Chain A
């Protein structure tokens, strides 16, 4: 039972354009959502997060949108740069037994072409 899904395994975008990465979840108990970026042979790097009480959070070129009714979140990168080429994971969490384990999607490989 995959509770967090990233349906696009890959995305190719031209440098300077917008990259939109999507993520869907099924568990309505999730109350915190995160995006991570991962290069090969490195650990995931935290990018941006959003609480379920918000519908948008922005940090520089990165904006995350949350649509709770649709159980959908997206990450917008504007403008896209070649250095953004990596695998992007969305993750969700809820506080259970005071823990906040992350449930990850399968990842989307973003390729930004110069």
Chain B
């Protein structure tokens, strides 16, 4: 158990819909990262937040957005969903200055 929690574990929704994925980092970690794992693209970095502020951005679609709240939990919002958005979405957290990131169990999103 990494100490990073993600909800929900599974999500099935239709094209065009909007969903919110939630992540709680390990106690004391200020950085939260979101990654997408799809069959054809592997594990891809989406976005990082540090203590409520956006810090780094990867190849995140404009239809996707994220935020980190004062209690440090983070949410990833996916809108206008397409079939190709079906993937595993992982959240990770780390201590400032540490290279190691600890991953949650992921949310499996299926868009039908």
Chain A residues packing against B (C-beta within 8 Å) = 32, 34, 36, 41-46, 49, 51, 89, 91, 93, 96-107
Interchain pairs with CB closer than 8 A, number = 65
Contacts of B100 in A (CB 8 A): 34, 46, 49
B106 touches A (CB below 8 Å): yes
Q: Which of A34, A46, A98, A102 contacts B55 (CB 8 A)?
A: A98
Contacts of A102 in B (CB 8 A): 33, 35, 43, 45, 92, 101
Chain B residues packing against A (C-beta within 8 Å) = 2, 4, 33, 35, 42-45, 48, 50, 55-56, 58, 90, 92, 94, 99-106
Interface contact A101-B58, CB-CB below 8 Å: yes
- List 18 additional A-B contacts (Cβ < 8 Å) besides A43-B106, A93-B99: A34-B99, A34-B100, A34-B101, A42-B106, A43-B4, A43-B90, A43-B103, A43-B104, A46-B2, A46-B102, A51-B99, A99-B56, A100-B99, A100-B101, A102-B43, A102-B45, A102-B92, A105-B42
